[in-house]
Structure formats: C-alpha cells, structure tokens
Amino acid sequence: DSGVTQTPKHLITATGQRVTLRCSPRSGDLSVYWYQQSLDQGLQFLIQYYNGEERAKGNILERFSAQQFPDLHSELNLSSLELGDSALYFCASSDRDNYGYTFGSGTRLTVV
C-alpha cells in the first residue's frame, strides 16, 4: 500500500457520460498530480494541485476538470466521454520538500 488511495479501481461507462475519479493523497502530502496512461500516448501529465490551488496544467482536455478539497483529497471529473478516453488514470502525491511522487494504483476507465 503506497498510501495514495484511488477509487474506484475500475469503471465502465458509456460514451457521452460523466464520471468522477477520486484520490486521497498520502498523509502529509500537499500536492496531487493526475496522469493519464494509454497505450498510444504513454504517461501524460494532466494537472497538479498544491494545497487546494491549481499549480500546473498539462495535456488536459477541456472536457476534463479537477479540484482539490480542503481535506486535500482530489477529484478528476471527465465529461462527454469518448472511446478514446479509455485509459488508466493515476493520481500521485508529494510533499513540499521530498521531490518525487508516490503513485496510487490507478483507476481503469473503459468507455463503451
């Protein structure tokens, strides 16, 4: 157990639907990062939050959004889902000084 908790582990949904992925960071970590892993694109950085505020944005589609709550857990919202959004979505966390991520075990999203 890495200490980063992601739920759900698996999600199957239809095109056009909206889903929410949840991440609880390791205790004491203020930063949360979201990555998408697919066969054709590899590991792509989506977005980072630090202590509730957006810190950096990567290749995140406009249909996707995220937030970090006061208790530091984060949610990634994916809407108007397309077949191509099927992927593993990872959350990682880090603290301010211990540079280097701790990853969760991921959420496998399948869009049918």
Partner 1 sequence: AQSVTQPDIHITVSEGASLELRCNYSYGATPYLFWYVQSPGQGLQLLLKYFSGDTLVQGIKGFEAEFKRSQSSFNLRKPSVHWSDAAEYFCAVGARAAGNKLTFGGGTRVLVKP
* Residue 80 phi, psi dihedral angles, 5° rounding: 45, 50
Q: What is the DSSP letter of 95?
A: -
The single residue among 14, 62, 70, 99 that binds partner 1, judged by CB under 8 A, is 99
The answer to whether the beta carbons of residues 3 and 105 sit under 8 Å apart is no
Site for partner 1 in 24-53 (CB under 8 A): 31, 33, 35, 42-43, 45, 48, 50
- Binding status of residue 90 toward partner 1 by CB under 8 A: yes
Which ranges of 1-112 would DSSP assign to H, the alpha helix? none
Nearer to partner 1, 37 or 65 (CB): 37
Q: Parallel, antiparallel, or unpaired for β 19-24 and 87-94?
A: unpaired
Report the C-alpha gap between 23 and 72 in whole angstroms: 9
# residues near partner 1 by CB under 8 A:
24
The single residue among 36, 68, 104, 109 that binds partner 1, judged by CB under 8 A, is 104
Please report, as ranges, the residues that interact with partner 1 according to CB under 8 A: 2, 4, 31, 33, 35, 42-43, 45, 48, 50, 55-56, 58, 90, 92, 94, 99-106
